[in-house]
Amino acid sequence: MNSNLRKMAAGASLLAFLAVHTTADAAQVNVAATAFHTQIGGGDSIMYFGSGSTNFTAVTLSMIAALPRIPGGGAVTVFVDGYGVTGTYNCTISSSLASHSFSRSSVFNWTQAVNFTAAEIPSSAYLSISCSVPSDGAFRGVTVTG
């Protein structure tokens, strides 16, 4: 019986050691394209189908979405996934302390990553995305990883 207790104690010590020294998996939140909507006054010009939300007008449309936060705070990366044929996407991803913008000429499939440091996105901050989307431009979704 003493032998079993020693084995259990050694096993518990090993598990405690491994728990402290293993790397944590990054948290990830996926946002479906259906989260995008037009800004006030933009009308209902987004066509939602399958895994996309498409600008279904002949002009550039402003599409916005709120993005969820990753539990635990810290730095995050926001991946924006879109597709289209012609035109340019101009997007701004904002927290309450920082904004990062990018422009992307559409090729059929594209992604763009935007990084926020822990200082730029404190635990009290909210994230949002606003994009001007060319005619027939679309989003598949957004992934927030921390």
pTM: 0.76
**What does the pLDDT read at residue 19?**
40
In a domain, 1, yes or no: no
pLDDT digits (tens, 9 = 90+) for 110-121: 999 999 999 998
Q: How far is the first Cα of the chain from the last one, in angstroms, to the nearest whole number?
A: 46
Rounded to whole angstroms, the Cα distance separating 105 from 36 reads: 20
On whether residue 6 sits in a domain, the answer given is no
Rg (CA), the chain: 21
Does any domain span residue 60? yes
- Structural domain of 99: 24-145
The rounded Cα 49 to chain-centroid distance in angstroms is 20
